[in-house]
Amino acid sequence: MTATTSAPKAMPAPSVAKDDHSEGMSYLESLPRKTVTVYIPLIIIMVVLLFPFYWMFITAIKPDQDLLDLHGGNPLWVAEPTFRHFYKLLFESNYPTWLWNTMLVAVCATFLSIVASVLAAYAITRIRYKGAQTVGGLIFLAYLVPPSILFIPLSTIIHVYGLFDTPFALILTYPTILIPFCTWLLMGYFKTIPYELEECALIDGASRWQIMVKIIIPLAVPGLISAFIFAFTLCWNEFIYALTFISSNPNKTVPTAIVSEFVDGDVFRWGSLMAGALVGSLPLVILYAFFVEHYVSAMTGAVKE
């Protein structure tokens, strides 16, 4: 018998340095591409979105002589800022009353819309019956009807019931444009909740109302926050209904009041107009800053469905 001996295999040389160099080169190659595809578009979007707020602020703190002088000075900068326009807005006009009216109408209309939307979305998605999807589609189609068509018949109803020039005219008409979208949004979020939770609760003897209040609604808090933000924003910025149903100065909301009260014929008081628009947008900015993560997550869940 002959013994066979095998020579030891040569071990490959360590390639740590080579791998490090390759990773560094790939990082350098990907950095310009990431700059072009990510950072530059983000910067452009930020400038486009934030420039209107900057322009409102610059216009609001400009003196009247700078607003009238279109050829002198830098339009994007203020050499001698003044807060006179904010003082006139808050202390020499009914702006605090308009702000309160807007807050009252937005909160009440949003609350009514969310309650109705939760009940409708739960009935369509969680209670299985024939034609549920058809009902959901018809509700969403109601959202596609433009308010410019609805305000004419709604104005007749408002006059008949004696609600013209009262906050109730807006509180009761805003849900007509809020409920369809909020229902569709909550339908998509309710579908992401497992049906097994509801079936187990039914086996344990829970009623539909208990299931909705104690199981579905706590799990759908991000969806409710998203629907609330959408409805509140739409109520806050709505113009057509507020212009049609409210006529007296003390009952107006911010969007219609600053346009009607700070425009005298062909004379636009731009300082007060921009100050009113800037102050009126601050509540929405604060609202989105606190709940933007819940808003995005709920919209993602609704779009998946």
Q: In order of start, what are the domains of the chain with their CATH numbers? A: 28-82 (no CATH), 93-304 (1.10.3720.10)
CA distance 143 to 41: 32
Q: What is the pLDDT along the chain (305 residues), one digit of tens a residue?
A: 444 444 455 555 544 444 455 555 565 456 677 777 778 888 998 889 888 888 888 888 888 777 777 676 677 787 788 888 888 888 888 889 999 999 999 999 999 999 999 998 888 888 877 777 787 778 778 777 787 788 888 888 888 888 898 999 999 999 988 998 888 888 888 888 888 888 888 888 888 888 888 888 888 888 888 889 889 999 998 888 998 899 888 889 998 888 888 877 777 788 888 888 888 888 888 888 777 766 666 555 544 44
CA distance 59 to 51: 12
Cα-flanking dihedrals φ and ψ of residue 6, to 5°?
-110, 135
**How long is the chain?**
305
- Mark out the alpha helices in 61-127 (DSSP H runs): 64-68, 84-91, 95-125
- In one-letter notation, the amino acid at residue 125 is T
In three-state secondary structure terms, 239 is coil
């102050």: which residue's tokens?
279
pTM of the model: 0.77
CB atoms within 10 A of CB 12: 6
CA distance 202 to 302: 26
CA distance 55 to 34: 30
